[in-house]
Amino acid sequence: MFKIKDVVIDPPLVLAPVAGHTDSLFRRAVKGLGGCGLVVSELASTEGMTRRQGRTAHITRFGEEERPVAIQIFGADPARMAAAAAMVEEMGADIVDINCGCPVKKVVRQGGGSQLLRDLRRMERIFRAVRGAIRVPLTVKIRSGWDHRSINALEVLRIAEDCGVDALAIHGRTRSDFFSGKADWGIIAEVKAHARIPVMGNGDVFAPGDAGRMFRETGVDGVMLGRGVMSNPWLIRQCWDYLTTGRAAAVSLEERMEFMSAFLRRVCEEVPPAVALGKIKKVGGALSRGFPGGAQLRGKMHAARTTAEFFDALAGYYDGLRGAGLGQALAPAAPAEDGGHSDADEVEHDHRGRPPE
Ligand SMILES: Cc1cc2nc3c(=O)[nH]c(=O)nc-3n(C[C@H](O)[C@H](O)[C@H](O)COP(=O)(O)O)c2cc1C
């Protein structure tokens, strides 16, 4: 375990913020599977929170069983960031997290997300304003830099520490990498070696043994997992089992299918009907990764015009698999080439590993 100020993170494995996926329902499901010491919300727009109250309410909502929970905010205006952070504290969140890594054009153009890595004076003003507005712990999530000519994670760490930030999460890619190539765990190790505050390492933990490897190779206090959990919600528990016992039980196809059906039905109960179909297509697309004949299933799910058609496609697929005889265990699903996502409620995500504009 480790501590972020007075908040105990135990186990030291963290569910990363993933827009369009890690809403309260998903976070509760992952937490319920075990092994997860901290969950972080999807990024919430501080413009949306402070100008159009209510529009971002679904993003900042959380359940008691998620605790400890961090709510992530993004923006470029220090006063609005501070006001939004105070709102998050008022809602009862355990931690406020500032997004300094989002590569999406819409966020960057407004001066937020990874754009802050190019505007350290603004970043510092934001950190100070937010720090002054809340008493709960403050964390920041960064990339290693804007591009490979401007890697500045150590400078960002120093600013964060000077401003009273309580912990830092670093994704070992630059903004220009988007999601391409391999995450650079070397820069994560370097940040940890220089840090006085706890550091969470992030990037490319896809298999049960990967978290332990990141702890060993970088010395981080916590490991944060994103895409791997979107396709394998058991991944955090498997990492924890592997760390504590040297083994991790595989999850059977049957279990994955049952989880997927039940979860997607809950999504339909909880989200407004107008967005339910789009949401289950996205989440179902990730959860079915690694299934035999998964691409065909995804084609059918995406073609569905109603939620009834969607669940018919799923039931037909399951019947076919059951007919063929089940019971085999699945290897951890591989991540999607494109980062495994398409868009988000507030922020259109386009993380296709393309070079920046
Ligand atoms: C679809 C998608 C949405 C994401 N949304 C967020 C977000 O809202 N806030 C954030 O800080 N990072 C976001 N990320 C980045 C992840 O938190 C994480 O840093 C990244 O995926 C690398 O970790 P991984 O290799 O474990 O996935 C997103 C990533 C993806 C693929």
pLDDT digits (tens, 9 = 90+) for 74-102: 999 999 999 999 999 999 999 999 999 99
Answer whether residue 333 shows pLDDT above 60. no
pTM for this prediction: 0.92
Tell me if residue 231 falls in helix, strand or coil: helix
What local confidence, expressed as pLDDT, does residue 59 receive? 87
Contact 69, 94 (CB under 8 A): yes
Q: How many Å apart are CA 195 and CA 214, to the nearest integer?
A: 17
* Mutation test residue for ligand 1: of 18, 223, 225, the one with most atoms within 8 Å of CB: 18
Count of beta carbons in the 10 Å neighbourhood of residue 258: 12
Of the chain, the percentage scoring pLDDT greater than 90 comes to: 84
Q: What is the pLDDT of residues 116-142, one digit of tens each?
A: 999 999 999 999 999 999 999 999 999
What average pLDDT does this structure show over 229-253?
Answer: 96
- The closest residue, in CA terms, to atom 31 on ligand 1 is 339
What average pLDDT does this structure show over 56-69?
Answer: 92
What local confidence, expressed as pLDDT, does residue 299 receive? 95
Q: How far is the CA of 17 from the centre of ligand 1 (A)?
A: 6
Active site residues: 102
What are 127's two structure tokens?
């950190």
What local confidence, expressed as pLDDT, does residue 26 receive? 97
What local confidence, expressed as pLDDT, does residue 17 receive? 98
Q: How many Å apart are CA 270 and CA 38, to the nearest integer?
A: 23
What local confidence, expressed as pLDDT, does residue 56 receive? 77
Q: How far is the CA of 226 from the centre of ligand 1 (A)?
A: 6
Answer whether residue 52 shows pLDDT above 90. no
Ligand 1: lining residues by beta carbon, under 6 Å: 16-20, 42-43, 72, 99, 101-102, 141, 171, 202-205, 225-228, 339-341, 349, 351
- The closest residue, in CA terms, to atom 4 on ligand 1 is 18
Contact 73, 44 (CB under 8 A): yes
pLDDT band, very low/low/confident/very high, at 326 (cuts 50, 70, 90): low
Answer whether residue 204 shows pLDDT above 70. yes
What average pLDDT does this structure show over 180-185?
Answer: 97
Q: What is the pLDDT of residues 146-162, one digit of tens each?
A: 999 999 999 999 999 99
How high is the mean pLDDT of the chain? Answer: 91
What average pLDDT does this structure show over 206-227?
Answer: 98
Tell me if residue 17 falls in helix, strand or coil: coil
Answer whether residue 221 shows pLDDT above 50. yes
Q: How far is the CA of 303 from the centre of ligand 1 (A)?
A: 26
What average pLDDT does this structure show over 23-42?
Answer: 97
Answer whether residue 338 shows pLDDT above 50. no
What average pLDDT does this structure show over 9-21?
Answer: 97
What average pLDDT does this structure show over 194-210?
Answer: 98
